[in-house]
Amino acid sequence: MPGRRLRLTRTLRDDLRQDIALPDRIERIVSLVPSLTEALAVTVPDRLVGATDWCTHPADLDARGVGRVRGTKNPDLAAIAALQPDLVVANKEENRELDVRRLRERGMPVWVTDIETVPASIASIRRLLRDVIGLGRDPAWLAEADRAWSGPVPAPTARVVVPIWRDPWMVIGRPTFTADLLARTGLEVVTAGATGRYPGLEPVAFDYPSVADLVLLPDEPYVFTTADGPEVLERLPTRLVSGRRITWYGPSLVEARISLDRS
């Protein structure tokens, strides 16, 4: 497709309320967000042409011929341009504003999502799939996720600390998608008084029953294991959990509801 130029015929506002000029048909998509990569690969597999190195689901992306465009924070702009996408999908938290601006300056439409709650994730993905890409109805997984996570937030039954990095230690704070998702299963994310979305917090500050009941140790972005993480916590019980199930939005929402309800 040498010299291919997009004919931008419509304008929609993305999650950041930015007017984005788009072509009528979205046939080639590059995703810079692992969660959205999975959603697109499951829903419109023939249209996904590029993804980051961090996009690990579905596991057969490489076999499908999906091009890799480096990381979420350092995407290869030339590689993205070479894939000649009709649309690049990004996220306010996952991707840098600088990269979004540079992609747009190269003439590529970039749709930016902004997701901090489970309802927001479902609404954002629905709009992407329906309004932007043009699907006539929700895919089965999105309809199931909507049913599974609808309803009021229950009263908390336990307080949890959720580290996401070590050396230096960082934990989940608010407002974040993970804190909202866990709250919907009765788990209240606590931070021993630290503020912010991902505050730095050493174990000495939260390893007390007065602070929390449990520490959840996910396997991403930092890979906590039985031998890496629990050994420094002397007072609180720990549980290893799937990072994808508590930090990703998309088809994993269905798995997360089932697995968290059973745990």
Instruction: Tell me what pLDDT residue 8 has.
Output: 82
The predicted pLDDT at position 103 comes to 97
What pTM value is reported for the model? 0.92
Q: Where are the domains of the chain?
A: 8-144, 158-262
Would 8-144 and 158-262 be classified into the same CATH topology? yes
Distance between terminal CA atoms of the chain?
A: 50
Encode pLDDT of 180-216 as tens digits: 999 999 999 999 999 999 999 999 999 999 999 999 9
CATH of 8-144, one of 3.30.70.3460, 1.10.10.10, 3.40.50.1980, 3.40.50.2300: 3.40.50.1980
CATH of domain 158-262: 3.40.50.1980
